Structure 1
């Protein structure tokens, strides 16, 4: 999967003109060096200390390309100068970073930054800016980690605003919760939905020759193939994967979901389970035309930089949730060599039967209530699933999650049966993203 670019920040330093200029500049320079060492792309304006400094800072903000603004407070600040500079950008992610004290010859010294931040933090809150507040000196590792997290979340917000999601078909099997308010999505989160019929996949698939995927068959040599999985079946899966990938590239999609049931899985006779499992290693893909789900997967990808999956809720105990889709999961999620079987009862084509590898995971699902979006998030430990399958079907790619929180509470909040899954714990990042996007957070 392509690596995400480092977050970009623009730093606007604020200071007071009556403090020694060398002390002020020393604190600013140390802050900029620390941000660069933290792996951020950094641009900075000259310090804003006087009314004449506001216009140049505004000009730079309007011209710059950035994910977040860092309002750097290194001394006392006149609040009207701060507001005059940043008020036009209160809908952008702003990180208010206040210095505390520094030392010289074993003596703690202050330029009055934290008292100023007390005024500015409340000012931002009362003016309903999209902001977070951190404090500390540049050499503090925990502070830099907090700043990196904010920048990463701000970058995810910006990527969402520019994202294009491909919808091939519509929500499967009458799933009300698989649909979405298109204009609300564009307004509040940002992604565009680009809709095509699944017939586009059929036409493109029929144009892909077997010779175009012969090289892909090498990949299948490491797979564990079930009964009836022939080279011809594998070629069909690879041809569909290539067809979908070509469409996504041409349409400039950042993610996609496809209605598999029942036009592809029965009428056409080729479920896209394995094609999507192949593509899931290198792009954000999903099935059943579930738009809130694929948006959830895209959010997790932008926060982790890793492939994402999803699963249906199949069983709950006092401590665990069993999840699995009916044949899809990125092959890189497999606990061992991928297991590929043939659909037997409900659909035609191949499916991924690989259990998930152990590790920490985040579960996420976008929903809506009274015209506003909400995000339900939880985390836990992925464990190998117990023996289990749907009646008449091969085993699906399952994962048994030992939930950190209360399972009963989680179940009372489910917005749908599908949950996006990603390795790693990004609950704090999700909470911050909800603040920046003004989305209700439900955390279990």
Structure 2
């Protein structure tokens, strides 16, 4: 789901005042806008609007961007442009916005004449435009850079990926199969507040509908999935054909229902599946492979965590659902794992991902086939979405590294040891003070800055520990 580049619109702003003074300036600055787009071609697909020189131009450009299902709008001052002509556009903007404070030439030289001054005077247009955005209450990012540099391309890439995540997140539907775990307070929240403030919508799917879907599948669909698994994973010879078929039917049925309900994320709770009485085992391996395909996931009916795993996919790729299991003080790290669900796209590349037969007492069902792997060592980031009451939400984030640590042979679920950059003591003190939840998303790489841009655009408090 995140293989494509972000798709952004470039809105270049100027005014007619300069046309008589400098004939051809509009065409010249339109070419500058196209050059900026070309410079960004490897980090975003950029749609360039004709130069905006008045209110009608601005409104038409924004409508075109929104109708084209773009992820965000990059605003570039081609010259000075009075902000009152574009105030309504930003007051009603539905797409994430970034103001690129750039100019055609990076250096002021003695050779400059009035035309050069006019071509490069975007800075005070940016001030007028930014003032209009602030007055409109519009969250927006700002990038001041030399546009020809890698630094500019990198910063636009960060914003564009965050814009892609924000736009997708605002339209997200999270499917909950059954109900959420009783007593798990940090996953409780006001669903209407979430939809109002941030966008994600919760959809409840009855376990009975899931059961019927498993019965409607053809044997050829099941066989095709099992054949793919044979090619992709190391298969435990103790797994019976019946166990694998049950797992495959659950995975395919969950995926089918997610498509039918237009859900990009989901959660299952072991009690909701176990108490139903019709399912032989829990869908552990299903969660791992569906995450690898870009679906958000969380256990125990935790819609908040499922939604932020989905955002992690969109923002940085390969979101991995996990939780903190135990602290290891000698290595200054935290053992990360969960009951059996994890995105195998973050697995070590020097070890096979194993599909194993695995006893599990939780749910009081038969052994669930489970994908077992260790997490790839290297930089990583944790993020936890916290409901603070009403329409207030917070994202607690920690950067660090996954260690090339010891094997734990008795741990039959995905795992790794995460060493926070701030150290276990400081990290956990801050995490707990901030109300960080026990379910979270892990992304490989240091992406706290990406999460910060995401939070600023969507209206979430950002808290790094």
Q: Which secondary structure does the structure 2 equivalent of 1:167 belong to?
A: strand
Determine if contact 1:166/1:253 at 8 Å carries over to the other structure. yes
- In 1, Cα distance between equivalents of 2:234 and 2:161: 38
Determine if contact 2:79/2:122 at 8 Å carries over to the other structure. yes
Which of 344, 347, 357 pairs up with 1:331? 344
| Pairing 1:303–2:310 present | no
**More displaced 10-residue stretch of structure 1: 307-316 or 432-441:** 307-316
Q: Which secondary structure does the structure 1 equivalent of 2:406 belong to?
A: coil
Determine if contact 1:14/1:72 at 8 Å carries over to the other structure. no
**More displaced 10-residue stretch of structure 1: 35-44 or 89-98:** 89-98
Match of 2:421 in 1: 404
Counterparts in 2 of 1:421 and 1:261: CA distance versus 1, 3 Å: farther
Match of 1:78 in 2: 82
| Pairing 1:356–2:375 present | yes
Q: Which secondary structure does the structure 1 equivalent of 2:352 belong to?
A: coil
TM-score normalized with structure 2 length: 0.84
Counterparts in 2 of 1:269 and 1:262: CA distance versus 1, 3 Å: farther
Superposed displacement of residue 382, structure 1: 1.9
Counterparts in 2 of 1:88 and 1:123: CA distance versus 1, 3 Å: closer
Match of 2:302 in 1: 290
Superposed displacement of residue 356, structure 1: 1.5
- In 1, Cα distance between equivalents of 2:224 and 2:244: 12
Give the 5 Å matches for 1:145-224: 145-221=154-230, 223-224=233-234
**More displaced 10-residue stretch of structure 1: 369-378 or 173-182:** 173-182
Match of 1:442 in 2: 463
Q: Which consecutive unaligned segments of at least 5 residues does structure 2 have?
A: none
| Pairing 1:238–2:219 present | no
Q: Deviations over 1:334-361 (max 9, x none)?
A: 3221223333252432222221222332
- In 2, Cα distance between equivalents of 1:2 and 1:93: 18
Match of 2:91 in 1: 88
Q: Which secondary structure does the structure 2 equivalent of 1:261 belong to?
A: helix
Give the 5 Å matches for 1:4-403: 4=4, 6-15=6-15, 17-18=17-18, 20-23=22-25, 25-39=27-41, 40-48=45-53, 53-65=54-66, 66-83=70-87, 86-89=89-92, 92-100=95-103, 102=105, 107=111, 109-111=116-118, 112-221=121-230, 223-226=233-236, 228-261=238-271, 263-264=273-274, 267=277, 268-284=279-295, 285-304=297-316, 306-317=317-328, 319-335=332-348, 336-347=351-362, 348=366, 349-371=368-390, 372-388=392-408, 394-403=411-420
Counterparts in 2 of 1:162 and 1:280: CA distance versus 1, 3 Å: same
- In 2, Cα distance between equivalents of 1:119 and 1:271: 57
**More displaced 10-residue stretch of structure 1: 111-120 or 394-403:** 111-120
Q: Which secondary structure does the structure 2 equivalent of 1:271 belong to?
A: coil
Determine if contact 1:273/1:328 at 8 Å carries over to the other structure. yes
Q: How many correspondences in the alignment? A: 435
- In 1, Cα distance between equivalents of 2:230 and 2:96: 47
Q: Which consecutive unaligned segments of at least 5 residues does structure 1 have?
A: none
Determine if contact 1:2/1:282 at 8 Å carries over to the other structure. no
Determine if contact 1:362/1:378 at 8 Å carries over to the other structure. yes
Counterparts in 2 of 1:262 and 1:23: CA distance versus 1, 3 Å: closer
- In 2, Cα distance between equivalents of 1:101 and 1:95: 18
